Amino acid sequence: MEPHETEGWTARYPELHKALLDTAKAWNSQPHTWLLGGSCGLLLQGVELQQAPRDIDVYADIAAAKSLHVCAPGSRLDKPAVDKTGPYASLLSHYQVGACSLELVGGFEVWARGSWYRTQIEHVLARYAAEAQVDTYALRLMPLAHELLFNLLRGREDRYVPISLRIRQEPEAHQPAMMALSQHNIWTSRFRAEVEELVGFTWSEEAGEEQ
């Protein structure tokens, strides 16, 4: 996908812009795949948010997260550690980059609503990552397909509704990622029906586990 324009966004959020720039400087030269997600990733993909981004969320596979920690931007607040909170599990580490908090999430997975979803960054999600230009650096973003499914699983209507509206504007750009996540994870038929109602197109059931 073509890089998304960030003009205007940087003026509204100068501290966040600086932190993202520092993050790109630290990690873009590394041979490890990482994707910017959360509210920052949504904003950079044109999703209308009720609140301004408060922190930076970066996703990577577990091995990549361990390596990225060594050359992380800003101040390291802790070491990568397995975190199991409710239905979520991941390898988490935290950093202070200027005025912003950064969370590095390795190997994220969630069990919820009878479904199981895990983020496979290198082999699945990176193939569908959009890009945003921040100064001379390109930031790769978590696909909106991921953001829709994750926020629907956790019941964040304030997130999944505006995400679905953005997907409906360019369904052909997001459908391939939706289909890939359909086939690489386990979803109930009820969940699939909700997804289809939100995005307005059929969500493949070829490799999904039905209940």
Kindly tell me the burial class for residue 44, based on how many C-beta atoms sit within 10 Å of its own C-beta (0-12, 13-18, 19 or more): buried
Looking at the domain assignment, is residue 103 inside a domain?
Answer: yes
**Mean pLDDT score across all residues of the chain:** 92
Assign residue 62 the CATH number of its domain. 3.30.460.40
Residue 190 lies in a domain: no
Does a structural domain hold residue 151? no
- Domain carrying residue 120: 3-143
What's the full length of the chain, in residues? 211
- Work out the number of other CB atoms within 10 angstroms of the CB of residue 193: 12
What's the CA gap between 146 and 195, in Å, rounded? 12
> Does residue 116 lie within any of the structural domains?
yes
Q: Is residue 72 part of a domain?
A: yes
For residue 79, tell me if it sits in a domain.
yes
pTM of the predicted model as reported, rounded to 2 decimal places:
0.92
Return the closest-CA partner of residue 43 out of 144, 153, 145: 144
| Model confidence pLDDT, tens digit, residues 77-118 | 999 999 999 999 999 999 999 999 999 999 999 999 999 999
Does the residue 205 lie in any domain?
Answer: no
Domain count for the chain, please give it.
1
Residue 8: predicted pLDDT: 66
pLDDT digits (tens, 9 = 90+) for 140-192: 999 999 999 999 999 999 999 999 999 999 999 999 999 999 999 999 999 99
Is 135 part of any domain? Answer: yes
| CB-based contact 109:89 (threshold 8 Å) | yes
